[in-house]
Amino acid sequence: MTGYATLARYALWAALIIACTRFVWHMASTIHDNIFNDGRAAERAEWLEKDKDRIEEQAKALGEAMDRVAKQNERNITKTMEVVDERDKALAKLKNDMRTMRTNTRGMWISAKACDDSGHSSLSGRNDDSRESGGADQIRLPGDVERRLQEIGELAGETVIKYNACANKLRSVAKVVPNK
């Protein structure tokens, strides 16, 4: 049995040597990794210290740029709201004026000469160039024609108001070329 005891003893010694080798390997790799990480951290700290001024300048410039952009945005929002308010007031005034015109007029009239296709008037009546509505040589337009003409006039007024509002809004951010 002494052979097996010797074999067992050698096996235990081999296991002890393997365990010690693993322990030493683990300690060496841990120490190496810590030294490497410490060195890397030290290099990074040194680099950051050297680059600190540039980073501070960039941060300051970025902060100033963000402040300028915020102020410009505030001005743009204020200008846009002013333009929108002006547009809304102008549209309300236009609608009010159109409503007043509809209630205060006795209809739309056209001269008999303008209606005559042949060029000579066959209608009898006053031939003066009176601008009064309902004159003898004038013809009243039908109600649906009046309504359509008023709608066209209102739409034209709204279009002009919206164009002017758009031009005023864009004037602060772009060059507006006027129509000629």
Q: Give per-residue pLDDT as tens, 69-89.
A: 999 899 888 888 888 898 899
Q: What pLDDT is recorded for position 122?
A: 46
- Please, which pLDDT band fits residue 61 given cuts at 50, 70 and 90? very high
Question: Per-residue pLDDT tens for 90-121?
Answer: 889 988 888 888 777 777 788 877 776 655 44
CA dist 36 and 38 (Å) reads 5
Question: Global pTM?
Answer: 0.47
| Count of C-beta atoms within a 10 Å radius of residue 83 | 19
Cα 115 vs. chain centroid, distance in angstroms? 51
**By the 8 A CB rule, do 107 and 141 touch?**
yes
Burial class of residue 135 (count of CB atoms within 10 Å of its CB; 0-12, 13-18, 19+):
middle
Q: 3-state class of 84 per DSSP?
A: helix
The size of the chain, in residues, is 180
Question: Per-residue pLDDT tens for 9-59?
Answer: 889 999 999 999 999 999 998 888 888 888 888 888 888 888 888 889 999
